[in-house]
Amino acid sequence: MRFAVLMGLLLSTNVLAADYLIDVREPNEYAEEHAKHAINIPHEQIVEGVKKHNFQKDDQLYVYCRTGKRASMAKDALNKEGFQKVEVVGGWLGVQDGLKARDLFQK
């Protein structure tokens, strides 16, 4: 299910309207490989990062990391700040092959 959500988001023409895909891994992990259109905001900096990017509390935010653990922590931190439309789409390890097959993989 999470993979389907991520793929729908990445394939949607409306992805940049008010839907954001956030890679909450460390910058070195993001630099190695990431989903196209993903914004890198490390999970420890997620609240400051979404404010810096001027995300609104009613924007839909999709977060992922390597396994899903940091994405869950980022979701919790965002929820506490009033961002309620946050979804963990899972771990990078589980979605790489599908992204590569659809040319949505950035290395």
Confirm whether 65 is a catalytic residue. yes
Cβ pair 65, 23 in contact under 8 A? yes
How far is the C-alpha of 80 from the C-alpha of 59, rounded, in Å?
Answer: 15
The CA–CA distances, whole Å, from 24 to 69, 70, 77, 88 equal 10, 7, 12, 11
Which of 21, 65, 77, 86 is flagged as catalytic? 65
Residues taking part in catalysis: 65
